[in-house]
Structure 1
């Protein structure tokens, strides 16, 4: 970017590029603005100590926004450059100070500055793992003192439930259950945090690199046709008894669309396209996507009564905002339907399993579900009708028909051979 005076106007108009871009101030040498591809804008200072032959060093002042305005960042840059003129090296002093950070301090710094490109749902999950597992086990230790053995010990402790707690967090968040899955995810988060510390020169290595995590099998629970009938009857019974119609509709939509729970609960009416029978979601776990709606799903939406002034499809209690929690009622519903192990997310799996069993290609199923990787949809491959088996069934059926009729008339004999030839051709194509 060309050199110009850094002001609010120039900062607001700075456009992200394919890589990090730098805007240098034309009045205060060394004062600059870094713009990342994600759009994050950070003020910084660049300087040299010891003359022209020495390499340049940079200090991050802070992200644009409260409290850092262009003028406040400029004032801080002047203070740093004045210290350099007096022979100090602020970057080295800052690094020395940060090397004494505790793991708890690193967690806070990572959440504040290292999660720029993460989605809010991922950050909430990170906060939970930090609160329940990382801080209790390593929080008081110095960042520079953590070893590979410490991380491996944390993996074992979380897996065996040492940090599990029946209580929810103070903000009403999730419980800490521990287990192998939680342990693996916590180590993956630690690995990212120490990579962040390495980039900030808080450590010279990453003690979580190369640690093998548990191979946790993803739960795959699919509703059978008989189970779907039981669930459908239970939903109707609950609705007749006065259950929240928006909650019942939410559960139906989870099964009829294959959407995630958050996508349905956060759905707003402006995202519902009845003309083209689809949902146009501006954001999801995998980014913006279009969810096609079958006739029954569309009818479910059309029948829902809109609450004046409330943009959410699944209205909250009293018609205000969105419905936040459906888990307690879901537990009652699945208990009544005699499906005690059925999770809400299994409704999404069931949608995909029905599609695979009915002959829909995995590519189409993945597109409906919003999968970005084909391997994610591959878990449903074993549920699809095997085309080779279909062809073999047709051939065996034709042969069985002949075996049951020892004396075939000429026309039936010809018909049998035509069927057999067609089945053989089909089998050859599939193989």
Structure 2
């Protein structure tokens, strides 16, 4: 039983069945290895009611071994204080939906609430949403086409909830920004930091930062079963194969991933209580989706290109 490090986890070989590699110097900290080769860090503990809990910390590659170890140490420290980190994580998500719903009732914060929701549903950095230009929003192609990010130019899939938001939003006006400044429409919205502080002041989430929303997006994407390469592409990491260069088309699988993650987060922000944590991975769900996809519409003739493919 070795100490979990990047080198150790990189060398772990998949087997026919899922198995666990425990860390030698941190009780409860481990990594699960799937037959596919996916490696996910987790922490095991017993809460105050002596109920065993397992909390995922992130996939290897999305988070490093040292980052996962730090998260495990923090979780176990909370357990020692009588807390339940997994329940606290779920409570935090519920609290955000309540706080944002209340803030949205005040018209002064409507724009800020929209920005917060977009950050949460997209996994974008705070500045990328606040400074987003109308020309960078491609609702037809369902993509963000950022001209200048931390990694340079970046194209990312836009989840359906966000595409629908931009379709309904008034994008007219002379300002080049989606969220123009209140006093200077030629510049981006500048009141976000002050509004954020006022929205969360005096709540249990007073120490929350916008970057946590990006981390939560990645964590939920991991929980929903998406690979580190897919998550990297959704987040616009330079290591992602899609964002390593400026491209104009995106893989259909990425749109499905973006729709799933952003739709899931939208439901959580709207206060929904969700029981499913994996999307269409069981055989019956996959079969039903395939049947829906292959079922022709009534009286619909095959497009010429499809007929050509069948004849080839």
What TM-score, normalized by structure 1, do the two folds share?
0.34
What TM-score, normalized by structure 2, do the two folds share?
0.46
Which structure: larger Rg?
1
Structure number with higher relative contact order (C-alpha < 8 Å, ≥ 6 residues apart): 2
The structure that is helix-richer by fraction is 1
